[in-house]
Amino acid sequence: NLSRRLTNVASFIPKGARFADIGSDHAYLPCYVCLHDEEAEGIAGEVNEGPFQSAQDTVNRYDLSNRVDVRLGDGLDVIENGEIDLVVVAGMGGSLIKTILDEGQARLSRVKRIVVQPNIDEPGLRYWLQWHGYTITDEGMVEENGHIYEIIAADKDSTGQELTERQLLFGPIILNQRPDPFYRKWRREYVKRRRIIDQMTQAAEPDHDKIGTFKRELAWIEEVLHDDN
Ligand code: SAM
């Protein structure tokens, strides 16, 4: 049984996709997708030997070796240009995901959709996506074992997108749809940010720019929480 988190990530992969799951670990995601969609074909990329072996084991166990290709290598290096139309990077910090996308840019030229599930720093990743000509077209939120995860799907297009700081923070689609864990996440974040602001203010040399940014975000969070009635 696939985790709630990864099941949710899978729902952002359209039928018949030729996709790569970078940092696939056990290759649970590509196997799940291929078992539920007989047209789909996946590549599981892993940089570490251990997870690479686990990925091969899972693929063999499900008898999917003709549809899920397990490859050892760093980030998007495992992809030939034009081979896939969708990339998934899930379960890592936003800045590692950004690095993987940045360093693999040459391999992204034919990729129509990027699906990411960062564990932290979602705003930075949204910024990266819009800066590189992707439009965020779909987002989701899922809660598992007390963690609240966000999933972002972005499509390459010519028009581009200009999100406000507020949309980068909450997510443009999430902000409109306010899925179930939304208020829970932002109540927690509110408390966290309050504490950070207090600590920063008491520092020997307070960084007023940073404090200002946090205060602005705090005001936006207060505003959205106000809607939860
Ligand atoms: N994507 C899976 C998930 O969401 O459950 C696994 C997440 S696991 C925390 C991160 C995996 O990414 C590890 O197996 C690690 O070896 C792999 N990884 C980290 N950096 C990588 C890179 N630059 N290229 C490929 N894989 C990488």
What is the average pLDDT across 143-171?
93
- Supply the pLDDT for residue 220: 97
How are beta strands 113-118 and 147-156 bridged, if at all? antiparallel
Kindly tell me if the per-residue pLDDT of 18 is higher than 70: yes
User: Which tokens sit at 52?
Assistant: 């690479």
Report which protein residue has its CA nearest ligand 1's atom 2: 24
Q: How far is the CA of 134 from the centre of ligand 1 (A)?
A: 23
State how far the Cα of 204 lies from the Cα of 58, in Å rounded to an integer: 53
Q: How far is the CA of 42 from the centre of ligand 1 (A)?
A: 16
Query: Do residues 139 and 176 lie in contact, with contact meaning Cβ atoms separated by under 8 Å?
Result: no
Report which protein residue has its CA nearest ligand 1's atom 15: 23
What DSSP assignment string belongs to 61-87?
A: HTT-TTTEEEEESSGGGGSPTTS-SEE
- Supply the pLDDT for residue 1: 87
pLDDT band at 229 (very low <50, low <70, confident <90, very high): low
| Domain ranges (residues) in the chain | 4-161, 182-226
pLDDT band at 227 (very low <50, low <70, confident <90, very high): confident
* Whether the predicted interface score ipTM is above 0.95: yes
Query: How does pLDDT run across 80-109, given as a tens digit for each residue?
Result: 989 999 999 999 999 999 999 999 999 999
Does 4-161 carry CATH code 3.40.50.1220? no
pTM above 0.90, yes or no: yes
- Supply the pLDDT for residue 139: 98
Query: Which residue in 120, 110, 111, 117 sits closest to 138, CA to CA?
Result: 117
- Supply the pLDDT for residue 160: 75
CA dihedral 83, 86, 90, 95 (to 10 degrees): 90
Report which protein residue has its CA nearest ligand 1's atom 12: 23
